[in-house]
Amino acid sequence: MARLPVAVLVSGSGTNLQALIDAAARPTFGAELVVVVSDRPGVAALDRARNAGIPVEVVAWEEHPDRAAFTVAVCDAAARHGAEALVLAGFMRILGPEAIARYPNRIVNVHPSLLPAFPGARAVAQSLAYGVKVSGATVHFVDEEVDHGPIISQEPVPVLPDDDEATLHRRIQAVEHRLLPEAVDALAAGRLTIQGRSVRWS
């Protein structure tokens, strides 16, 4: 069966990208990683992509006049490589509505909290500062609001008494590395149906 061509959007270390690369090495995985797009040069995620032989594109945030122009440039970079879906794997920019219009129900994000708790860029630090006993990972479809679209999968991660941001984030990421490839594979196989805010797996 043809694989779903996806673009992976990154900003940093790319451990979730690596999980996708490893998953895509299996012949049964439903998606093909056709390009990795970063909003900044020089990040480790780009090295991971190059090592795996995946084309890379850098769309620098600073080089665009506003969010709309940046969003269109990101979508254009993905489209140049034939991507039919976007996977935000540690992508720390907010895409404008132009992306949702171009990839309706075809954008997936991974987030290091149990949404709707702690949306935004500092979820792990804010979870610790709040004193929660349970954190977790969420994979969800992207809609027009930040960290808000229908939830594909979630899994709790206990907060341990001596956790700092790094130790808790590492345990959450270990869960993300399983949930994100599972979700992308299910999306590619057409096994995810959105009904309002609810995502059904089949």
Residue numbers at the binding site for ligand GAR (CB under 6 A): 12-16, 45, 89-90, 110-112, 121, 123, 173, 176
Per the annotation, the verdict on 140 as an active-site residue is no
Q: Identify which of residues 2 and 88 has a Cβ nearer to ligand GAR in the complex.
A: 88
Q: Identify which of residues 39 and 176 has a Cβ nearer to ligand GAR in the complex.
A: 176
CB of 164 to ligand GAR, least distance (A): 15
- Kindly list the distances between the CA atom of residue 62 and the CA atoms of 7, 43, 70, 100, in Å, as whole numbers in the listed order: 21, 16, 9, 22
Residue number of the CB closest to ligand GAR reads 90
Q: Identify which of residues 176 and 185 has a Cβ nearer to ligand GAR in the complex.
A: 176
Distance CA 9, CA 38 (A): 6
Class of residue 87 by CB neighbours under 10 A (exposed 0-12, middle 13-18, buried 19+):
buried
CB of 190 to ligand GAR, least distance (A): 25
CB of 1 to ligand GAR, least distance (A): 27
Question: What are the residues whose beta carbons fall under 8 Å from the beta carbon of 68, sequence distance 6 or more?
Answer: 96, 98
CB of 45 to ligand GAR, least distance (A): 6
- Kindly list the distances between the CA atom of residue 198 and the CA atoms of 54, 71, 116, 139, in Å, as whole numbers in the listed order: 33, 26, 14, 13
Catalytically annotated residue among 81, 111, 140, 148: 111
Q: Identify which of residues 90 and 96 has a Cβ nearer to ligand GAR in the complex.
A: 90
In this structure, the dihedral spanned by the alpha carbons of residues 83, 88, 93 and 95, taken in order and rounded to 10 degrees, is 50
Q: Which residues are catalytic?
A: 111
